[in-house]
Structure 1
Amino acid sequence: MDLGLAGKSVFVAAASKGLGKASALAFAKEGAKVTIASRNTEQLEKARDEIREAAGQEVGIVQMDVLDPKQIQEAIRAAADAQGGLDVLVTNAGGPPGGSFSDFKDEDWERGFELTLLSTVRMIREALPYLKSAKEGRIVNIASSSIKQPIPGLILSNVFRAGIQGLTKSLSQELAEDGILINTVAPGRIATERIMQLDRLRADEQQRTVEDILAEANRQIALGRTGTPEEFGRIVAFYGSLANTYMTGQSILVDGGLVKAL
């Protein structure tokens, strides 16, 4: 299938590693002009080199902290200027810390909101003029399977990731007349550094081995295994492509059958 991404301009946030990097690689393999953003310049340069080698495509980099609205504005503008516009925006951000309700004070909730939900709002706001000019713009918001089923010990993520899907559904109505499709892609257990970190945290709390935590988690997944970043990235690329012509406002789980909700 031709995804119609060759020559398209794509901006992927928080893409120096993990799900963002895998998504950027998937777009680059389809011939898109990709710009990746992250706070860490060293990691960005490493990711750029790895994507370029794997996809045979040049990749732009911009430093951007999703907690800084000025950096968001400047990064998206720089990417659009360098690539002659913007066709696809992939929003993404590192997750807020794990914990239960009693663990967090007001400032933790405020930071979690700004990191997870407000950063998505800001990125979309800055990208919209370019996406409207593109006529067939696409937005993919990366969230979490917690938008369908809350994850124990991740209350901040549970609350604000759900807000991302509320934003997606609302904007699908507002942006349709401009030809912009917007969807949320929600990972379940994908083998990233964050998942490994959470596994180690649970292992320490429960005085068990990480291997036991991993095996237990995999037993809850219909396919019996943790997904790969590459598997996730391919789904993001599809929903951000011109091959997707009639799906908007949706939440797509990439979870191997982990979530049992209808």
Structure 2
Amino acid sequence: MDLGISGRTALVLGGGGGLGAAIAQVLAEEGASVAIADINMQAARRSAEAVESAGGKSVGIQWDLGDLGAVDANVKLVEDSLGSVDILVNNTGGPPPSAVLGQGHEIWSKHFQSMVLSVIAITDRVVPLMKSQGWGRIITSTSSGVITPIPDLGLSNTLRASLLGWSKTLAREVAADGITCNVILPGRIGTERIKSLDRTRAEREGKTVEQTTAESIASIPVHRYGEPREYASMVAFLASAQAAYVTGSVVRVDGGLITSI
């Protein structure tokens, strides 16, 4: 299936590794030029080089999402290098494991700025040009914890959930301009983030990492962790011309993990 995004420009936040790198690669394979933003410049460059080695056009950008003052300059760099942003993939890193009680206000503020305000600010910056072209895709990656809160991920459960209300509201505001806004949430996808969470849980519960991982996999109906490319393929579909009538939605890529309807 031709997704109809060849020649489009995508900006993938957190694109230096894990889900972001897989998303960048799949979008490039569909013919999109991809700007890869990451706080780690070496990771951004590696991801950009992987795209280019496969024949795609890419640029890597060092981008600290906690620095809201850098938004305009970084988006302009994307525009100057690849063209105006047609597809925005809001993929932010997760905070460390934590309870919700006892977290200082400075911790909440720090992660709210990098995980939520950054997404809002970047979206505000790119939407006017999307409107002028009558086409745009805004895809925000969150977590299964926004539907079923995950124990010991209090900061993540809380902050990511706020993006659902934001995205749903935004979808109605820009639908008539040819712009879709959707949230996509991963279950347990085999990335370094999931491996790190498995290690943390193993230490907390006094188990081996192998035991913790086996228990986690046993709770997933398909009995395995997802592949990053499986998640990235859903992002690519939501970015496609064929998904023009899909907006304001929350799409799960979780192997059946979430038990609620």
TM-score range, shorter chain: over 0.9
SS at 2:101 equivalent: helix
Counterpart in the other structure of 2:259: 260
Change (3 A) 1:103 1:52: farther
Residues 149-228 of structure 1 correspond to what in structure 2 (within 5 A)? 149-228=148-227
- Aligned-partner SS, 1:101: coil
Name the counterpart of 1:35. 35
SS at match of 2:183: strand
Instruction: Give the aligned partner of residue 80 of structure 1.
Output: 79
Cα deviations by residue, 1:25-75 (Å, 9 ceiling, x for unpaired): 11000011111111111111111122222x321211222111011222211
Deviations 1:108-128 (A, max 9, x none): 111121122111111111111
Moved more, 103-112 or 10-19: 103-112
Q: Is the 8 A contact 1:80 1:130 kept in 2?
A: no
Does the CA-based 8 Å contact 1:65-1:72 persist in structure 2? no
Match of 1:16 in 2: 16
State the Cα deviation string for residues 171-201 of structure 1 (Å, max 9, x = none): 0110112111000010110111111111111
- For 1:44, the aligned partner's letter is A
Measure how far apart 1:103 and its partner are. Answer: 4.3
Aligned-residue offset at 1:102: 2.8
- Contact 2:47-2:60 within 8 A present in 1 as well: no
Aligned residues of 2:67 and 2:114 also touching (Cα < 8 A): no
Aligned to 1:232: 231
Deviation at 1:167, TM superposition (A): 0.6
Partner Cα separation in structure 2 for residue 241 and residue 74 of structure 1: 27
**C-alpha separation between the residues in 2 aligned to 1:206 and 1:82?**
48
- Structure 1 counterpart of 2:25: 25
Distance in 2 (CA, whole Å) between partners of 1:31 and 1:120 is 25
Letter in 2 for 1:167: W
| Matched residue type, 1:106 | H
Tell me if the contact between 1:86 and 1:134 (Cα under 8 Å) persists in the aligned partners.
Answer: no
- Looking at structure 2, the residues matched to 50 and 57 of structure 1 have their Cα atoms a distance apart, in angstroms, of 9
Unaligned runs of 5+ in 1: none
**Stretch of structure 1 that moved more, 28-37 or 93-102:** 93-102
**What is the one-letter code of the residue matched to 2:51?**
I
The residue identity in structure 1 corresponding to 2:18 is G
Q: CA deviation at 1:220?
A: 0.7
Change (3 A) 1:231 1:37: same
Residue 39 of structure 2 is aligned to residue 45 of structure 1 = no
Extract unaligned runs of 5+ from structure 2.
none
| Mapped contact 2:86–2:137 kept (Cα < 8 A) | yes
Cα distance in 2 for partners of 1:102, 1:209 equals: 27
Query: What is the TM-score normalised by the length of structure 1?
Result: 0.96
Cα deviations by residue, 1:195-247 (Å, 9 ceiling, x for unpaired): 11111111111111111111100111110000011111111111012121111
Alpha carbons 1:10, 1:89 under 8 Å: kept: yes
Same amino acid, percent of matched pairs: 38
Query: What amino acid is aligned across from residue 89 of structure 1 in structure 2?
Result: L
Q: Distance in 1 between matches of 2:241 and 2:136?
A: 9
8 Å CA contact retained: 1:85, 1:134? no
Q: How much does 1:89 deviate?
A: 0.6
Aligned AA (2:90): T
Q: CA RMSD in A?
A: 1.1
Compute the displacement of 1:77 (Å).
1.6
SS across alignment from 1:22: helix
Aligned counterparts of 1:133 and 1:210: Cα–Cα separation in 2 = 51
